[in-house]
Every structure is written in structure tokens, then in C-alpha cells.
Amino acid sequence: MTYVLVAILCSLVGLGTAAYYATWVLKQDPGSALMQKISKHIQEGALAFLTREYRTVAIVLVAVAIAMTVFLRASGGIVMALAYLVGAVFSGSAGFIGLTIATRANSRTTHAATKSMPKALEVAFRGGAVMGLTVAGLGLLGVSLCFVVFLFASGLVKDLELVPGAMLSIFGMQIPATTIFSDIIPGFGLGASTIALFARVGGGIYTKAADVGADLVGKVEAGIPEDDPRNPAVIADNVGDNVGDVAGMGADLYESYVGAIVAPLALGSLLLGFRGALLPLLIAAVGMICSAIATLFVRGKEGGNPGRALSLGTYGAAILTLVACLPLVLWLVPAGTAFAGKSVVNPIGFFIAIFVGLAAGMAIGQASEIYTSDAHQAVKKIAEAAKTGPATVILAGIATGMQSTAASIIFLVIAMGVSYVAGEWAMPLGGGIFAVGLSAIGMLATTGIVVAVDAYGPIADNAGGISEMSHQGPEVRAITDSLDSVGNTTAAIAKGFAIASAAVTALAYFQLYATKVGLDRIDILQSNVIIGLFIGGMFPFLFSSLAINAVGRAAQAMIEEVRRQFREITGLREGVEGVEGEYSKCVDIATTAALREMILPASLACALPILVGLYSKSMLGGFLAGSLIVGFLLAIFMANSGGAWDNAKKYIEGGAMGGKGSDAHHAAVVGDTVGDPFKDTAGPSMNILIKVMSVIAVVFAPLFTRG
């Protein structure tokens, strides 16, 4: 009990820090009236999107909860449904809080930039830290509460051991403790996944529909340049940055974070009893505290490099976490700890797994950076290819993205292999799979600071936009530009990290699935399994194609709305003082279109694993593995192709190959436009896809009875 209270305490420290930063940010000067007005439009737009999204999510949540209660009655359906709803509400709240602060930090950052760079960096980072610490804090708090409510309150645990035969009595059901770990708590994970599905897929369609829509309006309506404030889609575009990079990324990593606790926790409970379940929870708690401490390291120096300050935070948190995990592992599962006839031999092996997971996350993030930053060869080559036109830009970008999969796969595979071997060394005949799960929580322990650094990006980006729209001087622009450019790098790293974390989380769920349905092997020589692999491998391609087409259609709806406003609102096109576009209408149109467009892909993602599982559980095993591998590859490919095109365009705009307005620039713009739905819609959707399908398999496992 005490130990779980420690975890709760840690989560409260994180949330407290977040609350402190939020208050601090809100106390900063929100800037001039114009800055505030623009910021207010963005806030309202973001709120409108969230409201609309959550209204739709609510219906899905209720439906799924009812389905759980009915179909999973035998495995404590109604309790699982409760955990599910709590998981969803926590994730939704994190998104709401993070987005609220982020959209208020933007104009404050702009105003701070009129003072100094370190000040502006502080405001932007602390704005992001609210999101980061809230995501991690609520994730950890939620899982810990499940422990407390379901386990301790009913006296199932005593002195770090489960009381043999003890049952949780609830709603007239008798639920054994093991079921709580393997069935009830994964329900919490599915709640996180449901929100992530909407935030990432719906949000991804929204943000690119608004972006592409706003761009195309600039082209089809004469006299309205791309970023003109008269264009009512411009605000929707800014809202999109927050919806995609703050709320979307937050929900994505919240889901990974929860999954990386939940899956190893269930696997650990089977291997090592209560100690095994507690270990992932306490690693997360340690990471939480270290992340909160590390936010203090991020301080700009006048004339210093803001990127270095952010890296200090990320790496500082990682090192602190590692240092603290070593004694934790040695204390909780010392050599000789025995359970179910097996015992721990070399606990240090579990620590190695945590370490390689953390290292792999950082390495895959860095690999993304190398393929998408103009400081390296790949982006320069794409810019070079722009001299011979758009076709060669596209080919070079696709080749770059495809090539980049190799580095990421190699890091992932090393982490998997090393942690498996280390786990078997730690505890023969079973430790390996648990250790792979530990590498997942190792990677995600510092989620708090990773999301903080990532959410900093769109705040800096928005601050740059506001400084332009509110006509600030070049010194201010120079500061916001330098912050924004660092934000692009951190975004690239976070993207790679998010993909890697999705893969390890899905992998942990996959192992848990196999354990739950009692598959002791998933043999690809069996035709069922190989058929599952093929279908699972195909689905990410199909899903991507649906997502890419959805952006196109939603953008079309947006363009039509803008044209309607130009037609019906007198004075808008002419820019008459006091006449404003109906910004919220544009936001609403894009929101509706995005939510409508996600119905088909999201339904398929939820229904397919259940249908396959009902047909055969080993086919579902193959299906999950196939979708995991192909989804991971496509995620890396699309994120890095898209990022490389984006930065190749920016590199040319910086003066290379003839600079802005040259033929090379026009060619690079084509690459960037192709890359938009790649890197911000279809690519990130893969993260969710692989996690959501595997957690569905875990939760609905009791229904799958046919080999």
C-alpha cells in the first residue's frame, strides 16, 4: 500500500508542478491588445474543436463501456468499463488542460520576446511543461488509483504479496486479483487509446485540412495571400498546430505511457506476483519526479542556444531516472525473489532492459533528426533535387524516408534483443518477455519532459505567427524565429520517439495478448498465422490511404466555406476595418469534416482485430505482428519523408538553390504539400493504429476461444 501511495504522491508532485507552471504562465503579460485578440481567436478555435470532438467521443465511450459490461461480464466487465471511462476522462482532461495553457502561452511568449530570449524561452517551455507534466501525472495517477481502489481497498495484498485466493467483491461479482492486472487495468489503457484515436486521427485530419484549405484559398481566391488575416481559414490553421502537435501528440504519448505501464504490469504480475506489477509503476513514478526536477534545468542564457537548454532537460531527466532505477530494481526484485517456482538470479538484467529502452527512444529520435534536419546530408540532397523539378524532389524524399527506416529498425531491434537476453539472464525461463516490457517503460518513464519539450514547439511557432501578425520589430522576430527553429528540431525528435514508444507499447500489449489467450506459440508456419500476418501488414497501407484521401476531402469542405464567407460577408474581402471572418465557422466545418472522415478508418481499426480474433486467436496474433511491423515502418517512412521535405523547403527559403520564388522553391513546395498529410495525418495515425489494435485484442481476449 505504501508503495502505491508513493506512486500517487509522485504523480501529485508532477501535477502540482504543472499547476505551478500554469499559474506562472497565466500571470505573465499577455501582450498588446492585438496579440491578445489573435491569441483569443486561437483559444476559442481550439476549445471549439475539443468540445466537438469530446461530444463525439462521449458517444463512443458509452457504447464501448456498455459493450464491455455486456460481452465481458465473465471477466468483470462493468469494473473494466469503469476503468475504461476513467482512463478516457483522464486523457481527455490532460488534453484540455494542456491545450488551454498552450494557447495562452503563445501571445505571452511573443510579449516576452520583446524583453529577452531567455524570458521567451522560459514562457514557451513552461507552457509546454504544463502539458507534459499533466499527461504523465494523470497517466500515473490513474493507473495508481486502479491499484488502490481495486486491490488495497479490498485487502487483496499484504506485504508485497497477493493474498492467496482473495477476491474483490464488487457489483455482486467475485474478481480474483490476477484478473485485475490482466483484465481490469488494461481497460484503463483502452480508454487512453480511444481518446488518442480521436485526437491523433481526427486531429490529424483536422490540422491538415485547415492547413491545405488555407493554402488553397490563397491560390483560388485572387488577392488573398496565404497568411492574410482576412482569410478566415488562417485561424483554423493556427488552431490546427495546437490540435495536432499539442493535443494529438499529448494523447499519443499518454496512450503509450499508460500502455507501457499497464502491459509490463500485467506481465510482471504473472511472472513475479505483486512485486512484478509494482516495478513498472514505480519506474514510472521515479521518471515522473525526475522529469519534474529536470524542467528546472531548462533555462535560457542571453546569447545562448535554446536547443541546448531543452536537451539539458531531456537528457538530465533520463540520467536522473536511470540513476534512481538501479537501487529501485535491486530493492524490489533482489536476487532470490521467487514466484511460481522460478526466481530472480541477476536483477541487474532488468535494469539493463530499462536502460536500453531509454537509450533506444533517444537514439530513434536522433535518427529522425538526422534524416530531417537541414544540418545533414539527406535534406540538402532533396534541396539539390529541387533544381530538376518537383518529380525529383518527391523521389528523393521518398527514398530518404524509406532509407531512414533502417536506422530506426536497427535501434529498436537492438533494444528488443538486448532486453530479452538481459531479462532471461535476470530470471531464466520467463524474464525475457517481462524485460522487453520493462524496456518500454524505460523508454517512456521520462514522458513528462519529452512531451513538455515537444509542446514547446507549437507555442514557439504560434508566438512567431503572432509576432508577425502584430507587426513586431526584427529583434523580436529574430528571437521567436530562433525559438521556432529549435522547436522544429525537438518536434522531429519527439516524432521519432513517439513512433518508437508506440512500437514498444504495442509489442508489450502483443505479448500480453498471447499470454492472456493462452497461446504458447504463434507459429508462422501455420496458415492461419501467416494469413493474419498478411492481412495485418496490409491494413496500415489501407488506413494510410483512407487518411490521405480524408485530408483532401476535408480541405475541400473548408475551401467552400471560405468562399461562402467571402461571398456573403460584405467588406471581408476588401479588408474593411471591423469586418471579421467567421473564424469559428471555419473551425467548426473542419472539425465536422475531420470527425466524419475518421469514422471509416477508426471503425475498421476497432472492428478488424475483434473479427479476426473471433475467427482464430492465432490468426489475430499474426495480424497484430503484421500490423505492428508494417505500421512502424510506414510511420517512420512517412514522418521522415514529410519532415525532410518540410525542411528542404525551408532550407531553400533560407537562400539555397536560388531561394524563395525560384523554380527550385516551387518544386520544394510540392514536396512540402505532399509531406503534410504524410507527417501530420497518416504517419502519426500509425502510432495509434498499432497500439489501439493491440489493446483491443488484450481487452477483448476473453471472447477469443477458437485456436
User: What part of residues 647-706 is at the interface with its own copies (CB under 8 A)?
Assistant: 669-670, 673-674, 677
Q: Please select the residue that binds its own copies; options are 176, 307, 389, 428, rule is CB under 8 A.
A: 389
Q: Please select the residue that binds its own copies; options are 5, 323, 406, 576, rule is CB under 8 A.
A: 406
Residue 402: CB atoms within 10 Å = 14
Does position 409 interact with its own copies (CB under 8 A)? The reply is: yes
Does position 289 interact with its own copies (CB under 8 A)? The reply is: no
Q: Please select the residue that binds its own copies; options are 168, 529, 586, 587, rule is CB under 8 A.
A: 529
Residue 332: CB atoms within 10 Å = 19
Residues 434 and 424 sit within 8 Å (Cβ to Cβ): no
Region of 257-265, 324-332, 407-415, 469-477 interacting with its own copies (CB under 8 A)? 407-415
Region of 250-258, 520-528, 654-662, 687-695 interacting with its own copies (CB under 8 A)? 520-528
Does position 391 interact with its own copies (CB under 8 A)? The reply is: yes
Find the shortest distance in angstroms from Cβ 77 to its own copies: 28
Q: What angle, 0 to 180 degrees and rounded to 10, lies between the N-to-C axes of helices 447-469 and 306-332?
A: 160
Does position 124 interact with its own copies (CB under 8 A)? The reply is: no
Residues 83 and 90 sit within 8 Å (Cβ to Cβ): no
Q: Please select the residue that binds its own copies; options are 102, 197, 433, 610, rule is CB under 8 A.
A: 433
Does position 174 interact with its own copies (CB under 8 A)? The reply is: no
Q: Is the dihedral of CA 349, 355, 361, 365 positive or negative?
A: negative
Find the shortest distance in angstroms from Cβ 636 to its own copies: 9
Find the shortest distance in angstroms from Cβ 10 to its own copies: 31
Q: Please select the residue that binds its own copies; options are 530, 557, 614, 703, rule is CB under 8 A.
A: 530
Find the shortest distance in angstroms from Cβ 402 to its own copies: 4
Does position 520 interact with its own copies (CB under 8 A)? The reply is: yes
Pick 191 or 626: Cβ nearer its own copies: 626
Q: Please select the residue that binds its own copies; options are 56, 154, 392, 662, rule is CB under 8 A.
A: 392
User: What part of residues 477-516 is at the interface with its own copies (CB under 8 A)?
Assistant: 507, 511, 514
Does position 611 interact with its own copies (CB under 8 A)? The reply is: no
For residues 197 and 189, give the distance between their C-alpha atoms in angstroms, rounded to a whole number: 12
For 345, the grid coordinates are 538470479
Pick 86 or 393: Cβ nearer its own copies: 393
Three-state DSSP class for 175? strand
Does position 637 interact with its own copies (CB under 8 A)? The reply is: yes
User: What part of residues 210-239 is at the interface with its own copies (CB under 8 A)?
Assistant: 216
List the Cα angle 144/133/136 in 5-degree steps.
35
For residues 463 and 100, give the distance between their C-alpha atoms in angstroms, rounded to a whole number: 15
Among 431, 73, 49, residue whose Cα is nearest residue 247: 49
Q: Please select the residue that binds its own copies; options are 498, 502, 535, 598, rule is CB under 8 A.
A: 535
Q: Please select the residue that binds its own copies; options are 204, 432, 437, 487, rule is CB under 8 A.
A: 432
Residues 353 and 422 sit within 8 Å (Cβ to Cβ): yes
Residue 370: CB atoms within 10 Å = 17
Among 195, 229, 213, 288, residue whose Cα is nearest residue 7: 288
Residue 18: CB atoms within 10 Å = 29
Does position 92 interact with its own copies (CB under 8 A)? The reply is: no
Find the shortest distance in angstroms from Cβ 535 to its own copies: 6
Pick 179 or 544: Cβ nearer its own copies: 544
Residues 53 and 207 sit within 8 Å (Cβ to Cβ): no
Q: What angle, 0 to 180 degrees and rounded to 10, lies between the N-to-C axes of helices 599-615 and 527-568?
A: 170
Q: Please select the residue that binds its own copies; options are 405, 472, 490, 565, rule is CB under 8 A.
A: 405
Residues 499 and 632 sit within 8 Å (Cβ to Cβ): yes
Q: Residue 280 CA to chain centroid, in angstroms?
A: 20
